[in-house]
Amino acid sequence: MMLPPGNLEMVAHFEDIGLATCFTKPFKRWDLYNCLATVLNKKLIEIEDTTISKITSTDISDSDKASVQILLAEDFPINQEVALGILKKLGFSADLAENGQEVINILEKKHYDLILMDVQMPKIDGLEATRIIRDSNSKVLDHNILIIAMTANAMKGDEQKCLEAGMNGYITKPINQDILYSVITEHLFHSKGKKSTVPDDITLSDNATFDTWQKQVTNNLEQENKNKNKIGLSEKPIIDKADLVNRLGDNEELFLTLMDIVVQSAPGEIEKLGNAVNKDKHIEVKEHAHKLKGAFGNVSAVRLFDLAREIEMLAMDNNLKAVQPLFNKIESEFVKFQDFIQSQKQGD
């Protein structure tokens, strides 16, 4: 049902009496799309590596790849290296924006086919940047550009937040090269190899796309976490090499670059995390733990990743009393990580 302006509070009432969903007038086409998507149970999709078949980067011609204009919106250096490194390996290139304000400024001057948008960024975050882009009154050149979120959170509620902001889908960090390639090819190329535009390539009749991708992210993550929690921290490898190769492919140059970045940048973040813990600043604890989680996840340092993730969750619950022992573990585990990296280099 379409409601008059200012009647948003009536949505719950109408849904209670049997209407599938409601939205208020005036509406933008993204409001209509999201409404239809909800009604037909075609919710915002997470691109899952378990549901996407392996694709080689030779499926698209070099000239077609070169024609794709990608904007990467990411503020954390190691995440930038990962995304740019994977794109380069796959034959694509991208311009870089380090915060949401830069994204808006760039889009006011240049057309792009795709934005890979980090959700948590300084100045303007990914959600707010997306809202501005979708606003027909903003000065960006293309309000319908394809936007794929990159998030390390993927918690309950994040799916709806991305959907409401106007994003088309999202991939989780750490990034998997096959998933990223599938996002680009599925959304930007027709079967004949020609580029398409949003929202024409995301139609409710495109059952193949939805059947391939449709999955509830919260259910996936809950099951994944249950499986991971069955294994003790000490039983896990310092670096999960199989996971690293699966996500990044056989890219030794990128491996070494990422390892060096983590070894150089993580100590500073760990120190900041410790200071925030000592001062009982739960917001800062969450922010630094989030950054460390992303860094450790990108190099498949599973022990450190799990510890950083747990600290982030505790900080979100404002339970800093339980954080101190975990922080001590991060410090000791990072020493093991450094020793492991050094031994690998010496072995080479």
What is the residue type of 20? A
List 3's β-bridge partners, or say none: 24
Predicted confidence at residue 270, as pLDDT, reads: 96
* In the chain, % of residues over pLDDT 90: 42
Domain 232-347 has CATH 1.10.4030.10: no
Residue ranges of the chain that CATH labels 1.20.120.160: 232-347
Summarised one tens digit per residue, pLDDT across range 186-231 is 888 743 344 433 333 333 223 333 333 334 333 444 444 455 555 6
- CATH 3.40.50.2300: which residues of the chain? 46-221
Checking if the pLDDT of 158 tops 90, the result is no
Supply the pTM of this predicted model.
Answer: 0.70
For the chain, what percent of residues have pLDDT higher than 70? 69
Q: What is the pLDDT of residue 255?
A: 85
* CATH code at 46-221: 3.40.50.2300
Q: To the nearest whole number, what is the mean pLDDT of the chain?
A: 78
Q: How confident is the model at residue 237 (pLDDT cuts 50, 70, 90)?
A: very high
Report the pLDDT value the prediction gives residue 51, as an integer from 0 to 100: 42
256-300 tens-digit pLDDT: 888 888 999 899 999 999 999 999 999 999 999 988 998 899 899
The structure tokens listed for 95 are 């311009």
- What is the per-residue pLDDT across 6-36, written as a single tens digit (0 to 9) for each? 454 554 555 556 666 666 555 544 455 455 5
Q: What is the pLDDT of residue 227?
A: 54
Are the beta carbons of 93 and 87 closer than 8 angstroms? yes
